[in-house]
Structure 1
Amino acid sequence: MPFRYTLRQLEYFVAVGKAGSIAAASDKLNVSSPSISAAITQLEVEFGVTLFVREHARGLSLTKAGHKIMERTEFVLREAELLATLAGEITGKVQGILSVGCLVTFAQIVLPGLRREFEDSYPNVHIEQRELNQADIFSQLRRAELDIALTYDLDIPTDLEFQPLHALPPYVVLGEDHPLAKQVELTIPDLQDSPMVLLDLPFSGEYFLSFFREANIKPNIAERTADMSVMRSLVANGFGFSIANIRPLNSLSPDGKKLVFVPLAGEVRPMRLGLLRARAENETNTLKTFVDHCAHAVKSGTLPGLCIPENE
């Protein structure tokens, strides 16, 4: 007798398996808990196995059989997505799910608006966004967990393809009371005696430090953080200067203090913002359209954070 279950029931099962509870899956999917619970029960009846161990204190845990079935279920759901994509290719439609990664240093500035405009233009597309560091972007593209990523040209491996969109020269971030805050531009020698707040992310941190190495100057690193917002607050509160390539649209730190942005002059390599993807001959209509959308947003000047406006 054939099994009787739906793709939606399988989606609910995977959501519960990842969330660890029906309530959490309900919040994520915006589906009622009884509907999800009924779907799990139906799957257990159809498969003839227990998928979850129900523990009051810890919620739901996958059984050994549940782990195996969930792994295969994720494969089935991916194949179902590919069928929808194939149908779109045949009909020329732009539709389906697009997994987009974005470098964590500028994801909050660039990606939400870019995604909103694209989904408004193509309502049959849903973008799954992920904010990642450079190393994780490489890894997830290789595992096909991402379709494409917005990032910088930082040590791009040869098995991935980078399409540049815009060059971003570096600038120095300073608190408004910093002794160098009134300068029109700064050089690395100007910074050698000042404490530095290093934005310390994989590949990004090395890029910023390369400016000092090439000038034969040892930076005075006072603070390190992997969070762009924390960096801005540390700078605004007088813990040192920092260096970045993309800036928010106002001059305030997250805690409301004034920041100053001064161009970094001299022989300093700009960062190139662009799209990174696995090398593939057969791209979907949806992916091609998203690439064109990003290129148009940069060319038209609607993508925020790409220019350094005058300090207020």
Structure 2
Amino acid sequence: MRIVRFEVLSKVIELGSFTKAAKKLNMTQSAVSHAISSLETEWGVSLLIRDRRKGISLTEIGQKTIPHIREMLNRMETVNQEIALATNIETGIIRIGTFASASSCLLPKLLVKFQKKHPNIEFKFYEGTYEEITEWLLSGIIDIGFVVEKESNTDFDLVPLIKDKMVVAFHAEHKFLHKDTIDMHDVEKEPFIMPTGMYQSHVEELFKQAQIKPFIRFEVHDCNTIANMVQEGLGVTIGPELFLKTQQNIKIGNLNLTNYREVALACSAISEASPAVKEFLKVARNVFTDSNNTNNE
């Protein structure tokens, strides 16, 4: 069947290797190569560029067709889940895009709740930046993704989860330790580690609100590197509480100005999602509605 060839092509592109795709699909490498060659012969076009140094990439026509191929595979997964649902045999895979702090702080709570009700649903996780998660959603690589509402594509259907407060982080022996609230003007005087990654705009917004400029000592992209630098006393930083509160040997404090990143689950179109994805989003709504209500009491 052609659908098998589509699965093979999609897996080769996803993993960037015939060998890895063969292992994942429980096929021989020659069978994977034959499936791709058969598809190219049938269509009369080359779909892949094979380069020993650069690896495997899509040709121009390959780039144009792969989103449609992924969409067809997603539709087939939905059909299989609908049939399973009708026959009371639960099956399916949910592919989730997530960023680091969502993986450690939000995802486990959801999985525990979901798998109690649906133990036979499988999961596949992709961890990346806001931009990568958006791209994976648009290209059909993932079904749903954790996003920050302000940063996400407005065409997605969103299920709001939490408001993640921006806090200041500092060394365990820093003078900020004994302050209940830390003034942005005090932060201005400290060597500052500026994040250049996912939440930079939220940090810049706080300084703009305070009408001051930070004394930037370092500009760093990786969140874990920033946390390690704070731990070593190289400066203070501002970032999301969800991430910073889990870091060892650093302290966090509230700022006199408030800024949040609003974390949500995004889906291209909930109405067209598979039964498993719809159920996961339903569980997410319930879990975080209950959690938010508890926190507000």
Name the TM-score, length of structure 1 as normaliser.
Answer: 0.72
Matched AA of 1:233: N
Aligned to 1:96: 92
| Aligned mate of 1:271, from 247, 250, 261 | 261
Alpha carbon RMSD of aligned pairs, Å? 3.9
How far apart are the structure 1 equivalents of 2:40 and 2:183?
69
| Aligned mate of 1:259, from 242, 250, 257 | 250
User: Structure 1 residue 169: deviation in Å?
Assistant: 2.3
User: Structure 1 residue 180: deviation in Å?
Assistant: 1.8
How far apart are the structure 2 equivalents of 1:154 and 1:37?
44
SS at match of 2:32: helix
In the TM superposition, 1:29-68 aligns within 5 A as 29=24, 31=26, 35-40=27-32, 43=35, 49=41
In the TM superposition, 1:9-158 aligns within 5 A as 11-12=7-8, 14-26=10-22, 29=24, 31=26, 35-40=27-32, 43=35, 49=41, 71=66, 74=70, 76-88=72-84, 90=86, 95-111=91-107, 114-115=110-111, 118-119=114-115, 121-158=117-154
Aligned to 1:178: 174
How far apart are the structure 1 equivalents of 2:252 and 2:207?
19
Q: Are the aligned partners of 2:158 and 2:264 in contact in 1 as well (CA < 8 Å)?
A: yes
Aligned to 1:310: none
User: Structure 1 residue 300: deviation in Å?
Assistant: 5.6
Matched AA of 2:186: D
Matched AA of 1:271: R
Residues 97, 189 of structure 1: CA spacing in aligned structure 2 closer, same or farther, 3 A cutoff? Answer: same
Q: Are the aligned partners of 2:130 and 2:152 in contact in 1 as well (CA < 8 Å)?
A: no
Q: Are the aligned partners of 1:148 and 1:276 in contact in 2 as well (CA < 8 Å)?
A: yes
Residues 85, 215 of structure 1: CA spacing in aligned structure 2 closer, same or farther, 3 A cutoff? Answer: same
Alignment size in residue pairs: 287
Matched AA of 2:234: F
Q: Are the aligned partners of 1:105 and 1:227 in contact in 2 as well (CA < 8 Å)?
A: no
Gaps of 5+ in 2: none
How far apart are the structure 2 equivalents of 1:94 and 1:144?
23
How far apart are the structure 2 equivalents of 1:92 and 1:275?
27
How far apart are the structure 2 equivalents of 1:188 and 1:39?
61
Aligned to 1:231: 226
Aligned to 2:193: 197
User: Structure 1 residue 89: deviation in Å?
Assistant: 5.9
How far apart are the structure 2 equivalents of 1:115 and 1:285?
16
| Aligned mate of 1:214, from 201, 209, 215 | 209
How far apart are the structure 2 equivalents of 1:161 and 1:136?
17
**Percent of residue pairs identical:** 17
Deviates more, 1:79-88 or 1:169-178: 79-88
Residues 273, 250 of structure 1: CA spacing in aligned structure 2 closer, same or farther, 3 A cutoff? Answer: closer
User: Structure 1 residue 107: deviation in Å?
Assistant: 3.0
Q: Are the aligned partners of 2:97 and 2:133 in contact in 1 as well (CA < 8 Å)?
A: yes
Residues 19, 117 of structure 1: CA spacing in aligned structure 2 closer, same or farther, 3 A cutoff? Answer: same
Residues 189, 163 of structure 1: CA spacing in aligned structure 2 closer, same or farther, 3 A cutoff? Answer: same
User: Structure 1 residue 192: deviation in Å?
Assistant: 1.0
Deviates more, 1:8-17 or 1:191-200: 8-17
Aligned to 1:287: 277
How far apart are the structure 2 equivalents of 1:251 and 1:62?
38
Gaps of 5+ in 1: 253-257, 308-312
SS at match of 2:205: helix
Q: Are the aligned partners of 1:176 and 1:236 in contact in 2 as well (CA < 8 Å)?
A: yes
Residues 60, 37 of structure 1: CA spacing in aligned structure 2 closer, same or farther, 3 A cutoff? Answer: farther
Residues 83, 227 of structure 1: CA spacing in aligned structure 2 closer, same or farther, 3 A cutoff? Answer: same
Q: Deviations over 1:131-164 (max 9, x none)?
A: 2333333444344443322233324554233332
Indicate the structure with greater helix content: 2
Matched AA of 1:288: K
SS at match of 1:123: coil
